[in-house]
Each structure stands twice: as structure tokens, then as C-alpha cells.
């Protein structure tokens, strides 16, 4: 295994360069970030390890977590929120329920641990022996980044110059808009004054109109009363005319009757006169007879 490691470490610099380039392009994952992230797999493993350590310290069986284990113990050890501690405790209970005890007791064999240690040592020595190539690539990358930064700086300066011009234009537009706003405010104030005067005039006109309507209503009531009185007066005149007609008819009838009575009176007077003559003649005749 060590021979293979030496052969790999003595490989061409192109492999080291490409590996370093990939390493430079991929942002490194901070172990502290992984450790502190409450949602990473590493954090979950740390929670599970701490749960088992607490069980060992307090002589609690992992089968009896529901009865004896307190979530705030885990929160005090790991930090974070109480809800996260409860969530991880529930996840560990699920792990205990689903995974058999013999499987939970499995340990990584020593051969695998040794092989992993050799692989870690190989990676460490590979980067140590590739330091020169990595540094050279790092310098090239840094120079390229500097060139890009300078170009970007020039672009930013150009954009800044254009931004200043645009800012000047915008300031001029702002001044124009402010002046226009002031004019609009003055116009609005004048319109408000005119509107207030119009409202006052309208209120006066409405008051006069209401007064006129009241007078018209009174006149209409007076006209109605006069019309009613006129109608009653007409009815009275009609009654009086009818009564006058009846009186005229009666007067005519009385005049006719009076004429007849006069005629009868004249006839009676002539009759009386004739009777008087007859009586006088009779008296004369009687006198002569005696």
C-alpha cells in the first residue's frame, strides 16, 4: 500500500494542478459550519453520540429513553433550541425502534480504520509534495483574478462615471419635478380656495332657493285657499241666482194674479155700482109706490 502511495505522489504535476484548480473553484466546507449546523448529517451524528454518552453517564438504557431521558439534558450539552433537542431525541428513539440492538452495536473493523488512516496520510503527503505546483497554480489564479479585478475596476469606474452623469440628469429632473410639484401645489391651493368659494356660493344659493321654495309653497297654499273660497263664492252666487230666478218667477206669477185680482175687483166694482143703481131705482120705485 505504501508503494502505491509513493507512485501516486510521484505522478505528473498536471494531475496536481488540475486537482488544485478544482479545489480552488470549490469553496471549502468549514468543519465548524458543519459541526454547528443543526440540520447536517454530522450534527445528527453528534446529537446521537451525545445521547448515548448521556445515557452512559446517567446509567440509562437506550430502551428506556421515553421514561428517564430529559430533552433539556441534550439541549444543555449541544446548545441550540429546545425544539431541536426534542426533534433529535425523537429521531434517536425512531432509530432505536427500527434498528436491532445487534446492528446498533456494530463497530468499524480495525482493518477499515487502518486503511482509512493510510488514505488520510496519502492525501496529506500528496498535498505536501504538490505544494510547489499548487502554489504556482495559486499564483497564476491570483494574477488572473487581479487582471479580472482591474478590468472590473475599470468597468466600475466607467459605470460610476455614467452613474454620475445619470445622477446629474436625475437631479435636474428632480429639481424640475420639485418645481412642477410646487406649481401643482399652488394650483391645488387656488383650486381649493375656488372650490370653497363655490361651495359657499352654492350654499347661499341653496338657502335662497329653499326660501323661494318655501314662499312658493305658501303662495300655492294661498292660491289653493283663494280657489276654494272662489269656488264656494261661485256656488253661493249660483244659489243666489237660482233663488233670484225663483223670486222673479214668483213675482211674475203674483203680478199675473194681481192683474186678475184687479180685473175681478173692477168687475166687482162695476157690479156693485150696478147694484147701487138697481137699489136706487128700487128705492125710487118703492118710494113711488108708497
Domain boundaries defined on the chain: 2-153
Interatomic CA distance for residues 128 and 23, integer angstroms: 15
List of residues 6+ apart from 24 with CB closer than 8 A? 137, 138, 141
**Chain-centre distance of CA 147, in angstroms?**
53
Taking the CA atoms of 167, 169, 172 and 178 in sequence, report the sign of the dihedral they define: negative
* Interior angle at CA 176, CA 170 and CA 178, nearest 5: 100
Interatomic CA distance for residues 91 and 108, integer angstroms: 22
Q: pLDDT digit of tens for each residue in the chain (290 aa)?
A: 434 444 444 444 344 344 344 444 444 444 444 444 545 567 888 999 999 999 999 998 888 888 889 999 999 989 889 999 999 999 999 988 998 888 787 777 888 877 778 888 888 887 777 767 666 666 677 777 788 888 887 888 888 778 777 778 877 888 888 888 888 888 888 888 888 888 888 888 888 889 888 988 998 999 889 989 998 988 988 888 888 888 888 888 888 888 888 888 888 888 888 888 888 888 787 777 76
- The pLDDT value recorded for residue 41 is 66
Start-to-end CA span in the chain (Å): 222
Other Cβ atoms closer than 10 A to 217? 10
Interatomic CA distance for residues 127 and 141, integer angstroms: 18
List of residues 6+ apart from 159 with CB closer than 8 A? none
Amino acid at each position: 500500500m505504501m508503494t502505491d502511495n509513493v507512485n501516486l505522489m510521484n505522478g505528473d504535476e498536471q494531475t496536481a494542478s488540475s486537482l488544485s484548480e478544482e479545489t480552488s473553484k470549490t469553496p471549502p466546507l468549514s468543519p465548524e459550519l458543519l459541526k454547528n449546523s443543526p440540520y447536517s448529517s454530522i450534527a445528527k451524528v453528534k446529537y446521537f453520540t451525545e445521547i448515548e454518552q448521556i445515557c452512559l453517564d446517567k446509567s440509562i438504557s437506550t430502551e428506556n429513553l421515553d421514561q428517564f431521558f430529559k430533552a433539556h439534558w441534550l439541549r444543555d450539552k449541544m446548545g441550540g433550541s429546545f425544539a431541536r433537542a426534542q426533534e433529535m431525541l425523537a429521531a434517536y428513539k425512531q432509530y432505536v425502534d427500527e434498528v436491532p440492538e445487534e446492528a446498533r452495536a456494530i463497530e468499524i473493523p480495525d482493518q477499515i480504520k487502518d486503511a482509512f488512516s493510510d488514505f488520510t496520510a496519502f492525501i496529506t503527503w500528496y498535498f505536501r509534495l504538490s505544494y510547489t505546483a499548487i502554489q504556482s497554480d495559486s499564483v497564476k489564479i491570483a494574477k488572473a483574478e487581479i487582471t479580472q479585478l482591474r478590468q472590473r475596476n475599470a468597468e466600475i469606474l466607467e459605470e460610476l462615471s455614467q452613474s454620475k452623469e445619470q445622477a446629474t440628469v436625475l437631479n435636474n429632473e428632480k429639481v424640475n419635478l420639485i418645481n412642477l410639484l410646487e406649481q401643482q401645489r399652488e394650483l391645488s391651493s387656488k383650486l381649493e380656495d375656488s372650490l370653497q368659494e363655490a361651495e359657499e356660493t352654492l350654499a347661499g344659493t341653496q338657502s335662497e332657493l329653499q326660501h323661494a321654495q318655501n314662499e312658493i309653497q305658501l303662495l300655492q297654499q294661498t292660491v289653493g285657499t283663494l280657489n276654494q273660497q272662489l269656488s264656494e263664492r261661485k256656488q253661493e252666487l249660483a244659489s243666489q241666482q237660482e233663488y233670484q230666478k225663483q223670486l222673479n218667477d214668483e213675482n211674475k206669477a203674483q203680478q199675473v194674479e194681481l192683474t186678475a185680482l184687479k180685473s175681478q175687483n173692477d168687475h166687482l166694482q162695476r157690479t156693485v155700482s150696478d147694484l147701487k143703481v138697481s137699489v136706487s131705482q128700487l128705492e125710487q120705485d118703492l118710494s113711488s109706490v108708497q
